[in-house]
Structure 1
Amino acid sequence: MVERSAALASLLLGSALVGLAPPASAVASCGYAWGSLPESAPSVRHAEVVDVRAGSHPCFDRLVVDLRGSGDGYFVRYVDAVDQDGSGRPVPVTGGARLEVVVVEPLAVPAALHLTDGDLPDVSGHRTFRDLVWASSFEGRTTFGLGVRARLPFRVFTLDGPAGGSRVVVDVAHRW
């Protein structure tokens, strides 16, 4: 009888502990369907860069370029060197690999013309990001150099808002 009581208590305790475990769907998964090939979406909508932000997530680091207007154009690719538009001069970007992030701002006089590296977020504490520099604003294009740890998968997309604006989002995975 004592053995039966002990078995029943063990079974009940085991059932209670199973109820404490998070459901499988709640466990973060980093199964990426991203790649490292260039991504682009040309645009003819009016927008201008007004802010740049960065953040860390469990599986990736994120760069967000805030736009005034409904812009949705971008070109993002890995490059050997990030160059200034117009002059072609290389811009130093620290990291094992460099992403060139170009935000298209047709018909706008970009506010980014007044950006300095001091206006950009410090990404030195991020897991994947190593450096972020403003390269240039020229003929409706604002270019940033994003230094990353290695040539890792990334994705790019746009979001609406806030306040009638839009955002270009670049996520770079922490690993393959």
Structure 2
Amino acid sequence: MHARLRQFTALATGTLLAACLSFAAPASASTTAVAATTQAPTPLVVNARWAGHPTYDRIVIDLRGYAPAVTVTPVPHLVYDGSGKPVPLPGKYFLEIRLHPAAAHDDAGQSVYHGPKLQKIDLGKLKGIALTGDYEGYVTFGAAFDTLPYYRAFPLHSPERFVVDIAR
């Protein structure tokens, strides 16, 4: 009699456990689906351009989506992200412009960036620009100058873009 009771208890416990697991799987899957649909897609970097003005040079990075956080940092030299190889731009002073979260490719890995990868420029201050990285949610540009750059950086909206103005 006790053996039958133990078998029944084990069978009932196993059935109950299996039922709980089957109920838990759809609930967590639906929670994940809701979280994925409410999360904003990563902003895409689609172009970089520049222009010379009477008192400043301007770099504009065009975006699709919202404006991500951006840091602009003076660096002693420019290198490509990942490889660490030097970026062949003329200049003695450099700025690194890093956007995060951002991507210059779509979910399939295809590039959405249509700007220059490496461009020498001859403006009053700006001597070159390069796309130096698109990796793990970071897109990085480098800018080259012959003299120390004094700059102001800010986002603009409608359409979304990020601007670096360099005083002449």
Asked whether the two chains share a fold, i.e. TM above 0.5, the reply is yes
Q: How does 1:10-29 map to 2 (within 5 A)?
A: none
Structure with more of its chain in helix, by fraction: 2
Structure 1 CA distance, aligned partners of 2:97 and 2:153?
A: 10
Shift of 1:89: 2.9
2:68 aligned residue: 72
**TM-score w.r.t. length of structure 2:** 0.64
Greater shift in the superposed pair: 66-75 or 90-99 = 90-99
Q: Does 1:97 align with 2:71?
A: no
Number of matched pairs: 127
Q: 1:139 is matched with which residue: 129, 136, 139?
A: 136
Deviation at 1:136, TM superposition (A): 1.3
What does residue 170 of structure 1 align with? 164
Tell me how far apart the structure 2 counterparts of residues 118 and 171 of structure 1 sit (CA, whole Å).
18
Q: 1:110 aligns with which of 105, 111, 130?
A: 105
* 1:48 and 2:44 matched: yes
Secondary structure in 1 aligned to 2:154?
Answer: strand
Q: Is the 8 A contact 1:52 1:121 kept in 2?
A: no
Flag structure 2 segments of 5+ consecutive residues without an equivalent: 1-39
TM-score using structure 1 length: 0.62
Query: Is the contact between residue 74 and residue 104 of structure 1 (CA under 8 Å) also seen in structure 2?
Result: yes
Structure whose CA Rg is larger: 2
Q: Which runs of 4+ in 1 moved over 3 A?
A: 108-118, 120-123
The answer as to whether partners of 1:154 and 1:173 remain within 8 angstroms in 2 is yes
Q: Percentage identity across aligned positions?
A: 31
* Structure-2 residue corresponding to 1:4: none
Alpha-carbon shift at residue 141 of structure 1 (Å) = 1.0
Q: Which structure 1 segments of 5+ residues have no match?
A: 1-43
Q: Describe the shift of the 1:170–1:45 C-alpha distance in structure 2 as closer, same or farther (beyond 3 A).
A: farther
